[in-house]
Structure 1
Amino acid sequence: MILLQVAHGTSQFPMVLYFGTIGMLVLTIGLIVFIIFHQRKVIRYQMQLQHLEQEQQKMLLNASIRLQEEERQRIAADLHDDAGPLLATARLYLNENLVNLDKTAQLQSIYNAKQIIDDTIQLIRNISHSLMPPTLKNFGLESAVNDLFQKISGSGSMNASCRFHDYRERLHADQELIIFRVIQELVNNILKHSNASFIHLTQNLSGNKLYIRLHHDGRGITQADFDKLNKSNVGLGLKNIQSRLKLLHGRIYFEKDISQTYYKVTIEIPRLEEEAVAPQL
């Protein structure tokens, strides 16, 4: 009887081994299929993410190109509509008939032409200053921002103040111009849309990064709003900010204070003094 049980158990062992092998094989195949499908899903997700990033880059590039084109058109309009007529008028006073006039009329014509030429020079100087503010060029970012905020406070429309804590060395001139343009764009947005009563800017360094923070007590946006606007066809000014900061490998963050009393905008820029950056208007 014992021999029969042993024989019976021995005959069942190959069956158990067979089904165990089949089970392991099915499990292995299932695992391989799962890994393949998972990898395909990851690859598909990465491709979608890459496509979204490419679309966003395209939108930022288009915004930057549009900004430059608008600047060129504005400068062309200023020169054509303002400088052109002034110079044409000066030419009338200095025409070939000037030699036939009496001395008093000649002096008056020359004086009038000089006044018009002086006005034209001032106009061109103003256009030049809008492209590169002389305070920024000669004294740096801190002086230019202080000058900007003093003008805002002087207008009586808003209480504007700023404080630079760690500005002992100037950045590359192109970097300072881009940062100043970003600050200008942010301040203009606050002036136009926020209905704020105050705006305060601070600057400091932390490690190898430069931080600029803007606080105001008006209507503002959060990071979610900024990301949404960046992906839409509106918010050109914000896209210009993003495209400019990208040249500096910088970032920008929008948030509302925990107290819910004011909004804060933080600009984070690596300090790369020696790196040349293409200037953007």
Structure 2
Amino acid sequence: MVLLQILNSASPVSQMIFFGTIGMLILTIGLIFLIIFHQKKIIRYQMALQQMEFQQQKMLLNASIKLQEEERQRLAADLHDDAGPLLATARLYLNENLVNLDKTTQLQNIYNAKQIIDETIQLIRNISHSLMPPTLKNFGLESAVNDLFQKISGAGTITGSARFHDYKERMPAEKELIVFRIIQELVNNILKHSNSSFIHITQNINGNSFFIRLHHDGKGLTQADFEKLNKSSGGLGLKNIQSRLNVLQGKIFFERDSSQTYYKITIELNLNDEDIKTD
């Protein structure tokens, strides 16, 4: 009541100043609440984003562990199922009773054992090559990729070609192997799912960035497809690719050419002094 009496007795200018001040105060308070609400919304969004990133990293780690475990199991199975029986058979031919046999039988047993041992050596060599292809080890990534694409073209169902523009110096062997495994996985996916008539790969360096690009004219993925599959429970092969890229701190991009005639996959790695060594 007192406030109303004061307002009624005040001049119109004073009343306008009073109500303007009240309005500004209400507006300021409203703005403060709006900012607080917006900040809380941003914090919730950031927390949700961090949770999504954590879940994705967890899935990638699980995929990497699963890949390593599958490779160990495959090697163990090859050694147990193939090399084990071969060596056991060779041992039968070279048992302690060999000295009691006639000379002809002794020579035949030794020959048979040698044949089996040679076969075992070849088996172990093949297993070793699957871990580190000899062309990659001895001549580098360019030669290994060219060898891979020559074999693809040799099958006669799809044309494969590769061109390296800037690979005068090699990366460390372990990084070359990771890049080669990524290329293998991508090529296998293209061969299995795309129904392409060709696969072409190029390599170049721009500043400190190392690029590998695969082109094919079949069914392919866009970046949105890749990210969706990468976050799903399936797509183990793509998760393995992402896991390997994480080791190299690299990136991968999937896109369709503007002409809509082919798909392109780009691998980008950052280079430093430790990444490059002379042959």
* TM-score bin (small chain): over 0.9
How many Å apart are 1:235 and its aligned residue? 0.9
Structure 1 residue runs of 4+, over 2 Å off? 8-21
Taking structure 1 as the reference length, what is the TM-score of the superposition? 0.92
Query: Quick one: distance in 1 between partners of 2:260 and 2:23?
Result: 61
Q: How far 1:174 sits from its partner (Å)?
A: 1.4
Structure 2: segments with no counterpart, 5+ residues: 1-7
> C-alpha separation between the residues in 1 aligned to 2:11 and 2:198?
91
> How far does the alpha carbon of each residue in 1:193-216 deviate from its partner, in whole angstroms, 9 at most, with x for none?
111111110000111101111111
> Which residue number corresponds to residue 115 of structure 1?
115
1:274 Cα shift? 1.1
Q: Which amino acid aligns with 1:190?
A: I
The offset of 1:273, in angstroms, is 4.8
Q: Does residue 1:214 correspond to 2:192, yes or no?
A: no
* Matching residue of 1:279: none
Is contact 2:91–2:113 with CA below 8 Å preserved after alignment? yes
CA apart distance, 1:158: 1.4
CA contact (8 A) 1:171 1:273 kept: no
Contact 1:204 1:210 in 2 (8 A): yes
Q: TM-score, normalised by structure 2?
A: 0.93
The CA distance in 1 between the partners of 2:77 and 2:37, in whole Å, is 59
SS of residue in 1 equivalent to 2:16: helix
1:213/1:16 CA distance change after superposition, 3 Å = same
Give the corresponding residue for 1:100. Answer: 100
Report the Cα offset of residue 130 of structure 1. Answer: 0.3
Percent identity of equivalent pairs: 76
Map residues 191-230 of structure 1 onto 2, 5 A cutoff: 191-230=191-230
CA displacement 1:101-125 (0-9 Å, x = unmatched):
0111111111111110111011011
Alignment root-mean-square deviation, CA: 1.6
Provide, for residues 120-159 of structure 1, a one-character-per-residue CA deviation record: whole Å limited to 9, x for no partner.
0110110011001111111110011011111111122211
**Relative to structure 2, which stretch is displaced further, 182-191 or 256-265?**
256-265
> What does residue range 148-163 of structure 1 map to in structure 2 within 5 Å?
148-163=148-163
Gaps of 5+ in 1: 1-7, 277-281
CA contact (8 A) 2:171 2:275 kept: no
Would the aligned equivalents of 1:203 and 1:213 in 2 still touch at CA under 8 Å? yes
CA displacement 1:84-103 (0-9 Å, x = unmatched): 10001001001111111011
Classify 1:207/1:57 alpha carbon distance in 2 versus 1 (closer, same or farther; 3 Å): same
- What pairs with 1:1-281 in structure 2 (closer than 5 Å)? 11-274=11-274
Query: Could you tell me which amino acid in structure 2 is paired with residue 147 of structure 1?
Result: D
Q: Distance in 1 between matches of 2:123 and 2:155?
A: 22
Q: Tell me, what secondary structure is at the counterpart of 2:212?
A: strand
Report the Cα offset of residue 223 of structure 1: 1.1
Deviations 1:12-52 (A, max 9, x none): 44433332322222111111111111100000000011111
Work out whether residues 152 and 158 of structure 2, in 8 Å CA contact, stay in contact via their aligned partners in 1.
Answer: yes
**Corresponding residue pairs, total:** 269
Q: 1:247 to 1:273 in 2, by over 3 A?
A: farther
Structure 1 distance, partners of 2:272, 2:73, is: 32
